[in-house]
Amino acid sequence: MIRTIYIIILIYFALGGMGFYLINRRKTPETARESYVKFGTYFLIINVIFFSIVLHTMAFRFLTILIILAGFIELSTLFVRAGRNHTLFFTWSLFIYSAFSVLFFIFGSGSRDQILFAFLVLSIFDSFSQISGQLWGHHKLIPQISPGKTWEGLLGGVLVSLFSAWLLRDLIRDTMTVPIIFTIGILAFAFLGDLFSSVYKRRYRVKDFNRLIPGHGGFLDRFDSLIAGGAWVALCSLII
């Protein structure tokens, strides 16, 4: 089962690579190079997290702690760099992030198959939302908050994710929820997590939290949807 899933991941990356090639043909060499660096870094991140889940979930729990701490540092550092402005906004943001972080930590203590299902669906949603948006996106979704997001990108990410959830449905055969409903909740929370990061950066007038991860705008830029989507899974486990 795990070998089959990894083959599916590689097929998705091959399709994603083709998408990035088509996208980058229209860009300058420098911009295209940055895009390929982002794609390569993302491939490494996906592999690290995937194998941390399938080999020993304790490794993934350790990663959840690192991701949570990195997020707190990025939120606080940006607040300080901005001259400690918008203190009330920062306080509420920290409170919301703390709530999601607690649930994300609980998510990291769940069953291997449930973690793997959520992680794969989230990763596919992130990737194909971006690819669909850059290939076919024309109608802005929320330009005042995140100018790059389009309705076409969102629709493409959702459709590919729902199809992938169907392919991976055996991973959550023991869950108490219907796979599609479970998946829709994951995607909704993932979108909210990404929106939270965009609102925060917009308030402090920056494009990225930092450039520590090549091609990405920081740990929260890379893991905001994973934190929020994982929070939904934990919430389901606690309530149902």
Whether 219 has a pLDDT exceeding 80, the answer reads yes
DSSP conformational letter for 140: E
Whether 67 has a pLDDT exceeding 90, the answer reads yes
Nearest alpha-carbon partner for 187 in 204, 216, 164: 164
Q: What gap in Å lies between CA 172 and CA 44, rounded to an integer?
A: 25
- What average pLDDT does this structure show over 211-226? 83
Nearest alpha-carbon partner for 100 in 69, 68, 65: 68
Residue 188 pLDDT: 93
150-175: pLDDT as tens digits: 888 899 999 999 888 888 888 876 55
1-40: pLDDT as tens digits: 788 888 888 888 888 888 778 877 777 878 778 778 888 8
Residue 173 pLDDT: 66
Confidence of residue 58 (pLDDT cuts 50, 70, 90): confident
Alpha-carbon distance values, 145 to 85, 116, 119, 142, 194 (Å):
19, 31, 25, 6, 11
Residue 176 pLDDT: 46
Alpha-carbon distance values, 220 to 15, 34, 133, 180, 225 (Å):
25, 19, 21, 27, 8
Is-contact 220 208, C-beta < 8 A?
A: no
Go through the chain and tell me how many residues it has.
Answer: 240
Whether 102 has a pLDDT exceeding 90, the answer reads yes
Whether 97 has a pLDDT exceeding 80, the answer reads yes
Q: What gap in Å lies between CA 185 and CA 231, rounded to an integer?
A: 10
Choice between 106 and 211, residue whose per-residue pLDDT is larger: 106
Dihedral sign for Cα 38, 40, 43, 44, please: negative
CA-atom Rg of the chain in angstroms: 17
DSSP conformational letter for 27: S
Residue-range domain boundaries for the chain: 2-239
Mean pLDDT over each residue of the chain, to the nearest integer: 86
Nearest alpha-carbon partner for 187 in 223, 228, 217, 156: 228
- Of all residues in the chain, the percent with pLDDT exceeding 70 is 97
Residue 177 pLDDT: 55
Question: Lowest mean pLDDT: which of 33-42, 68-77, 86-95, 96-105?
Answer: 33-42
Q: Residue 42: left (phi > 0), alpha (psi -120 to 50), or beta?
A: alpha
Return phi, psi of residue 124, to 5°: -65, -40
Residue 78: half-sphere exposure toward Cβ, Cα within 13 Å = 29
179-217: pLDDT as tens digits: 777 889 999 999 999 899 889 988 988 888 888 877 777
Global confidence as pTM:
0.91
124-151: pLDDT as tens digits: 998 888 888 888 878 888 888 887 788 8
